[in-house]
Amino acid sequence: MTPQPPPDVLESQNRKLLRVAFFGDIVGKPGREAFAYAAKRMREENKADAIIVNAENARHGAGLHPAGYQEIKDAGADLVTLGDHACDEASIFPTVRDPQEALIRPSNLGPAKKSLAEGRTFARLYKSNGSPTPIYVTTVTGRVHMKHESSDPFAAMDTQVNTIADEHPDAMVIVEAHCEATSEKNALTFHAIEKHRGRVIAVVGTHTHVQTADPRLVGGVASLTDLGMCGGHGGVIGFDPTLSRKRLIRQSGGKLEPCDQDLQATGALITVDTEAKSATSIELIRIRTQETLVK
């Protein structure tokens, strides 16, 4: 006999509602462990049908390496995204270029980084509980207070959404806004509402590592200024507080180490009506590990 899903999963399927969990930036090994714990909880408690996570800081706080990517996938990520640190670890480039992998880079990286990373700029969210309406994910990076070079994120969103629509007319799109400024992320949300209502179902921010308390639903588009991070919340945005303080006081570069205290994973849970092609709710996720897992 074929095992049957739990009752609430069946109910979700009957109503054609999907629950997508999107977690903020993974910071180093502590972040990978925090995400693994949170993803397991989300699956066991049947809170999410699909899980997305940003992993641009997963390799010791900068970039992503193949072993870390595999670890994150094995932990439960259905799709992994990158940000302005996409090119910090060159060993991930072949994985980014592989169309069979569940990994995407920002679509509007500057010419230098784009030529290095190449790879896909959008991908289908693979686990969707058999929904006939596919959900795609794409990432754009901001230009306000960002050190890296990138092109217009608003135009990049338009290009990505329209390209997805041309290839997959029924698709819904989740846009990750990897930006420093809250104003830019908010503006990208309203750009989606004005230009892509009925196709874009969510615009969620990453990059600052600080979860914001502003989830909202406007015109069927769910938004959150920043998802936060997976990692040590006992430090400074995921890094050792002493080293971070010294670096800021001296106003110079210096080595940073991921913090392994108070491991938490933060993000958002978005519920999507696949018949109406709109989001119906968005709520904050904050999961603290029951013990320090990092050895």
Average pLDDT of the residues in 217-228: 97
The SS3 call for residue 164 is helix
CA distance 198 to 219: 9
> Looking at residue 6, what is its pLDDT?
41
Find the distance separating the first CA and the last CA of the chain, reported in whole Å: 42
pLDDT of 241 above 70: yes
On whether the CB atoms of residues 129 and 49 are closer than 8 A, the answer is yes
Locus of tokens 């999907």:
18
Nearest C-alpha neighbor of 174 from the set 212, 100, 227:
227
Residue among 85, 191, 196, 209 flagged as catalytic? 85
Locus of tokens 């999961």:
287
pLDDT of 11 above 60: no
The dihedral region occupied by 163, where left means phi > 0, alpha psi between -120 and 50, and beta the remainder, is alpha
According to DSSP, the β-strands at 50-54 and 103-104 are: unpaired
CA distance 38 to 268: 12
Name the strand (E) or helix (H) holding 171: none
On whether the CB atoms of residues 258 and 31 are closer than 8 A, the answer is yes
Bridge partner list, 282:
270
Name the strand (E) or helix (H) holding 262: none
CA distance 286 to 50: 17
The pTM is what? 0.91
CA distance 49 to 61: 28
Q: Which tokens belong to 45? A: 């408690």
CA 184 to chain CA centroid, Å, is 17
More confident of the two residues 26 and 119: 26
Tell me the per-residue pLDDT of 17-26, one tens digit each, with 9 for 90 and over: 999 999 999 9
On whether the CB atoms of residues 215 and 268 are closer than 8 A, the answer is yes
Tell me the residue type at 211: Q
Q: Which tokens belong to 33? A: 């462990």
> Looking at residue 16, what is its pLDDT?
82
CA distance 67 to 73: 10
> Looking at residue 295, what is its pLDDT?
44
Instruction: Label residue 3 by pLDDT band (50, 70, 90).
Output: very low
Nearest C-alpha neighbor of 102 from the set 137, 133, 130:
137
According to DSSP, the β-strands at 229-232 and 25-26 are: parallel
Tell me the per-residue pLDDT of 120-146, one tens digit each, with 9 for 90 and over: 899 998 655 556 689 999 999 999 998
On whether the CB atoms of residues 258 and 238 are closer than 8 A, the answer is yes
Name the strand (E) or helix (H) holding 72: helix 66-75
- To the query of whether residue 207 is one of the catalytic residues in this protein, the response is no
Q: Which tokens belong to 259? A: 């913090």
